[in-house]
Chain A
Amino acid sequence: MPRELINANPVVHGKKERRVRNDSPNIDEDIKDPEHPYSLEELNVVSEDSIEVNDKLNHVRVTFTPTVEHCSMATIIGLCIRVKLMRSLPSRYKIDIRLAPGSHATEAAVNKQLNDKERVAAALENPNLAEVVAECLAPTFA
């Protein structure tokens, strides 16, 4: 089904050379963008600096920036990040995912949706959405 891309010509950034670390499990380095064949890091949607981990208080906060303001993929990106984190972190962590302030048209709504566990669970029951998420996460398990 060919449809119009929301951001037809994204700016591609380099991947950061990663140092070997022992602190917190790092997480979403290779999640694929739902619409482009680049990883979220290459598109500057998520960067290492935008992730806060507090190991003592068992809290992780990820702040991501969609490529364009009206990006409808924002919820899917958020969902991918959440699923990846749920599968990668011990259950003791509380995960907070939000959009960077001012980066999206319906920021508050998306934030609410992403952190509502009922809605996340419901979304994952949807086979179409689950398939998209699985596809996006596939490179991270390679």
Chain B
Amino acid sequence: MVNGDSWVSHIEAFVDISRPAEQQKAGVNTVAGLVKNDFITLEALVKEMELYLTTTDDTIRARGILFLAEVLICLLSKALDSFTISSLAGFFSSRLADWRSLRGALIGCLALLKRKSNVGMLADNDARTLAQSMLDNVQVQLLAMHDRKLCFEVFQCLLDAHSDSIASLGDDFVYGLIQAVDQEKDPRCLVLTFHLVQSLVKLFLSQLGSEHIAQDLFEVLSCYFPVYFTHKIADDFEVKREDLSDALMDAFCSTSYFEPFAIPLLLDKLSSSLPLAKIDSLKYLNKCLLNFGTERMLQHAQKIWFALKDVILNPLPQAEILSSSVSVLGGDIKYHEHKIATEALICLKTTILQFTCPNNVDFLTLIIDDDVVERSFCSVTMEGSYSDNYDKNYLKLSALGSILSVVANSSIFCCNRVFQDFFQRLMVALGIDLRTSKHSADAYVEIVSQKFNYGALYLSVELLTSSRDLIATVLESSNSKDSLRGSWWHLIQEFSGPLTSAFKSALMIPNKITAEGGNSNYKQEIIICSVKGLEMLATYAGEHTPVPRKSFEDILEVFILIIISRYEESFLWKLSLKSLVHIGSCISRFKDSHMQMIYNEIVVRRLVMLLHKDSVLSLALILEAISEIGTCSLDLISPVIQGLEEAMLSSFLQACVDESSKSSQDLVLLLDCYCTKILPWCHTSGSIEQPGMHFVINILEKMEDNIAFKMKPEMQDLLDKMMMTMKLVVRGCAENNQYIILEKAYNIMLASTNLPSNALLVSSSLREQFIPDFCELSCKSKMLLYFLASIVTALQQQTPLTNVTRLLNLLLVFTLKGHLPAAQALASVVNKLSDTVILEETIEMILDSFSSVLSNNHQNAPDMFNRNDGASMHFCSNLQINAVVGIAWFGKALLMRGHGRVKDISMAILKCLLSNQNIVPSSSHHQSGNCIGEDMHYLVSRSAADAFHLLLGDSDVCLNKNFHAIIRPLYKQRFFSSMLPVLHSAIKECNSPRTKALLYRAFGHTISGMPLTVLVADAKKVLPLLLDSLSVLDSDILNKDLIYSLLLVLSGFLVDEKGKEDIIGYVHIVINHLIKLLSYPHMMLVRETAIECLTAITGFPYTRIYPLRTQVLEALAGAFDDKKRIVRQEAVKCCHAWASMASQSLRF
């Protein structure tokens, strides 16, 4: 027991309504916590509160009871003994009569009712007393919204947990509840009342039939239908229209006793002109059909059909919808129309399924023999051509089509009926006569095109579609295959040949219409319809297809001919391709090997053949078709891959040996398709073993056999693509296969390049190796080297490397010769090496050789370099530039795996950058060699500055997740924080302007990709440097990309909350820089971003920026005359922001 006074004060605080709400809430929680942990008993609490609970002061009593109730709500999970619960229940039930403290009493009742049985719940007789007290004392509809909601919750809990005791109350409870929910208007309460009615109906099912209770209950519900909810912002009430409507629907369908009242109401509302009412009626009707049972609904069958027919066949005229709903619904008209149609068709399908069985065909007959249906069928199929008033007729046609297809789609039985009654008539309308067509398929093609009947064509496609879908669904749901075939099956079997020809000839009609100048919509519809018809015929489920093999072949033939020869009609071409893809995936879905063979023979083989010979169809289109078709199923991909690889191999040879430029262009397309479509698909599907491995090995072997390889400079693109392909292939292979490929490439490389054996040993005098082959590698060796490098780049970490040292030496040598892929491959190897001993040795070795090249200055170069002539200078600097690039990639590899030696590498790069600051550019040296030397030296330093870009940039050709690189998280940040102080002090100490510019360049590269939070944390150091770099770098056109990324960093600072605080001190400098950049001539993006930054600055404190206003506005006036529209627009916005900052006046 704790001291009484300490918690009594909480009660006092709660009772005093002038105290803040938080304090009261905290008081409740404290006391509840004390009770929960048994520091005080509930009994003691009640005793202590006695005065508050029984006082005659209404306010205090109400607050006291509420306090007790709130405490109880917090104790839902605490076990209480039955006596306590019973006495509390008695107390709260009796308090219901006291309207002044009703809120507390209701919450208290709710707290007791919500208790679960394992912690002691309300006894049944107590629940009954409580319910009785509710009925006797509480006039629900007189209360405020919140209390009403509580009342409904109490009723719901009673119905859910104490149904037995409630049931014994009988009609009193039912009528009491009806009275309580009647006239409710608040949506939050309505959701509850709808649920209440539903639960009530379940409980009192037996009484509903006999008396008028059902009617009374339904009357309460019916006035809410259709739910009309104009409140736009749903969040206010936390209730959406859909929730409300669904709750009402559940209540409507809760018992079949509502049927005599509900169905007439729904049918009546169905004829309403309000789209929402229509949609809701259809939804409700559908659910009622399912819930009320066939027997009860059968009497309404006819009326329902008439109503549905009306909705489907006579869509609301546009104008009517406009006038009735434009104010509420605005632009949703199209959506509603569509929604009405779909709901109506769903409902129709339910109706048919409910009412039709082989024993009872009345309803089906009703539909099929319907006058209106018959008349519209006749009218749409009488019409010869639709080209005149196509749009109007189309509506009628599609409505009829949807009715017929829904009926046919319902069951095999219905399908038979529809086909018997309509299909043959359609064939006649299409001009198909079985007697003639059986003998000569071509004879009637002419007839078809002469009296072409679009309506009949459309309807027959609809029927075919529905029967096809029907089979698919029946097959999925059951295994009984005997019943599938009926008269519809035989009809299709009989007519499929002529139908195929009819569709085929219909595909020729649009051309004729074009000649006559017809409606273009109509033309497209004919194409869509015919293609769809052909597709349907070819996509019946596998062995159950009624379409004979001959027709299937014909259909594929039609499509492939379109693909090959009618590529100029792009709409038709695309559609046909899509259909072929559908057919292909359908065949593989139903696993029909026979059809698969035919498909392979006719479609895939023909397409693959197109790759090999010259055809009129352009290669891009062939590739589009072949990749789409290949990737639609597993069975189709292997011939496609094979064909592609052969084509690639042969054009590779043609391009490189015969120097055919067409082949090299083709090869680029082929590789593109292979890399972007086929390989990714193979990798994701995962079922093709090592895709592309043979291709790579074949290429390598071909290169081994052929001696003469030539490469023109314009083939660089091709080489890049080839390398990318190699990488992608290798990255997807398993380790052992990677190893095989690597070995192969390495051996061929060694064999065919006549490198001197000692060339691969990096000696201390590395430079000497370069003297003999000052010239370039042969084409073939270069290619082999690049391929080898690509393969190495894409290896997995676990793949074993033989001859690591030799391989590394090879790559190192070629890195120094300036072959970028070699540098990347070298970096990849180092990044993935797992053995620490070898790793350390390797790093040491590579670092040594790079730094020996870098540290070389002209004084201690070997004798032959000491001649001060241009060529050797040139050579030497180039070597150093290559070394810088190599070391940058190498550093990136180490950086990504988080190796400590990065520090040395960055220092080496920095040293190289700074090495020319002591060389004063002097005009006194007139020796030409020296001038060149200075320039060359500058180039080396600049490449050192750019090395930082390599170090921190993301590359998509190597060292990324795709190519299995090891990447430690936050490696960039770590590098940044270690480099920032170094760069900072270097910039401070530097006094040569040229070198300083380079340092700023390096700094720019370092920060440009960095996350903003890191930069903001170091804002004190970063900002001054950033601003200085902007002003130093903007003079050189080469820096434009860098300037842009720095501006982006700056704009990041300007919008970041923390960054703003830091930048505020520099705001005038920032603005000056930005104004200078407004006229930056080299890059539009820079100007645009600068203006955006200026706009962002207007959010800064007024006092800081106001003095600069005039200056900014004057500068912006210049930007109004910018060459680019986007810049001008931004300028106008920015000008507005700055101008309206101070006054409305135009006089700035």
Query: With A91-B1117, A134-B1140 given, is the CB distance from A141 to B1133 under 8 Å?
Result: yes
Residue of B nearest to A22 (CB): B1125
**Interfacial chain B residues near A90, Cβ < 8 Å:** 1117-1118, 1120-1121
User: What CA separation (Å) do A29 and B924 show in the bound complex?
Assistant: 64
Q: Measured between C-beta atoms, what is the minimum distance from A124 to chain B in Å? A: 6
B443 interface residue (CB < 8 Å to A): no
CB-CB contacts of A101-142 with B at 8 A, as 1s and 0s?
000000000000000000001001101001101100100010
**Interfacial chain A residues near B1133, Cβ < 8 Å:** 141
Q: Are B1144 and A131 in contact (CB under 8 A)?
A: yes
User: What CA separation (Å) do A130 and B1137 show in the bound complex?
Assistant: 16
Interface contacts (Cβ under 8 Å), in number, total 46
**Interfacial chain A residues near B1136, Cβ < 8 Å:** 87, 137, 141
B1147 interface residue (CB < 8 Å to A): yes
Chain B 1075-1124 interface residues, beta-carbon cutoff 8 Å to A: 1117-1118, 1120-1121, 1124
Query: With A21-B1125, A22-B1125 given, is the CB distance from A87 to B1144 under 8 Å?
Result: no
Residue of B nearest to A88 (CB): B1132
Q: Measured between C-beta atoms, what is the minimum distance from A27 to chain B in Å? A: 9
CB-CB contacts of B162-206 with A at 8 A, as 1s and 0s?
000000000000000000000000000000000000000000000
Query: With A25-B1128, A134-B1140, A141-B1136 given, is the CB distance from A121 to B1146 under 8 Å?
Result: yes
**Interfacial chain B residues near A25, Cβ < 8 Å:** 1120, 1125, 1128-1129, 1132
User: What CA separation (Å) do A130 and B1147 show in the bound complex?
Assistant: 12
**Interfacial chain B residues near A88, Cβ < 8 Å:** 1120, 1128, 1132, 1135
Q: Are A127 and B1144 in contact (CB under 8 A)?
A: yes
CB-CB contacts of A69-106 with B at 8 A, as 1s and 0s?
00000000000000100111111100000000000000
Q: Are B1120 and A124 in contact (CB under 8 A)?
A: no
Q: Are B1117 and A134 in contact (CB under 8 A)?
A: no
User: What CA separation (Å) do A86 and B1136 show in the bound complex?
Assistant: 11
**Interfacial chain B residues near A86, Cβ < 8 Å:** 1146
Query: With A90-B1117, A90-B1120 given, is the CB distance from A125 to B1145 under 8 Å?
Result: yes
Q: Are A133 and B1144 in contact (CB under 8 A)?
A: yes
B715 interface residue (CB < 8 Å to A): no
Q: Measured between C-beta atoms, what is the minimum distance from A90 to chain B in Å? A: 4
B1139 interface residue (CB < 8 Å to A): yes
B1120 contacts which of A21, A83, A89 (Cβ < 8 Å)? A89
A130 contacts which of B1121, B1128, B1144 (Cβ < 8 Å)? B1144
Q: Are A124 and B1117 in contact (CB under 8 A)?
A: no
User: What CA separation (Å) do A133 and B1147 show in the bound complex?
Assistant: 15
**Interfacial chain B residues near A125, Cβ < 8 Å:** 1145
**Interfacial chain A residues near B1125, Cβ < 8 Å:** 20-22, 25
Q: Measured between C-beta atoms, what is the minimum distance from A12 to chain B in Å? A: 12
Q: Are A124 and B1140 in contact (CB under 8 A)?
A: no
Q: Are B1145 and A124 in contact (CB under 8 A)?
A: yes
**Interfacial chain B residues near A127, Cβ < 8 Å:** 1144
CB-CB contacts of A11-40 with B at 8 A, as 1s and 0s?
000000000111001000000000000000
Q: Measured between C-beta atoms, what is the minimum distance from A37 to chain B in Å? A: 14
**Interfacial chain A residues near B1139, Cβ < 8 Å:** 87
User: What CA separation (Å) do A133 and B1121 show in the bound complex?
Assistant: 25
User: What CA separation (Å) do A134 and B1141 show in the bound complex?
Assistant: 12
**Interfacial chain A residues near B1132, Cβ < 8 Å:** 25, 87-88, 141
**Interfacial chain A residues near B1146, Cβ < 8 Å:** 83, 86-87, 121, 124
Residue of A nearest to B1145 (CB): A124
Q: Measured between C-beta atoms, what is the minimum distance from B1123 to chain A in Å? A: 8
15 inter-chain pairs at a CB distance below 8 angstroms, sorted by A residue, are A20-B1125, A22-B1124, A25-B1125, A25-B1128, A25-B1129, A83-B1146, A86-B1146, A87-B1132, A88-B1120, A88-B1132, A89-B1120, A91-B1117, A124-B1145, A127-B1144, A141-B1136
Smallest CB-CB A-B distances: 3 pairs:
A130-B1144, A90-B1120, A90-B1121
Residues of B within 8 A of A (CB): 1117-1118, 1120-1121, 1124-1125, 1128-1129, 1132-1133, 1135-1137, 1139-1140, 1144-1147
- Known A20-B1125, A137-B1136; further 19 A-B contacts with Cβ < 8 A: A22-B1124, A22-B1125, A25-B1120, A25-B1125, A83-B1146, A88-B1120, A89-B1120, A90-B1118, A90-B1120, A90-B1121, A92-B1121, A121-B1146, A125-B1145, A130-B1144, A130-B1145, A133-B1144, A141-B1132, A141-B1136, A141-B1137
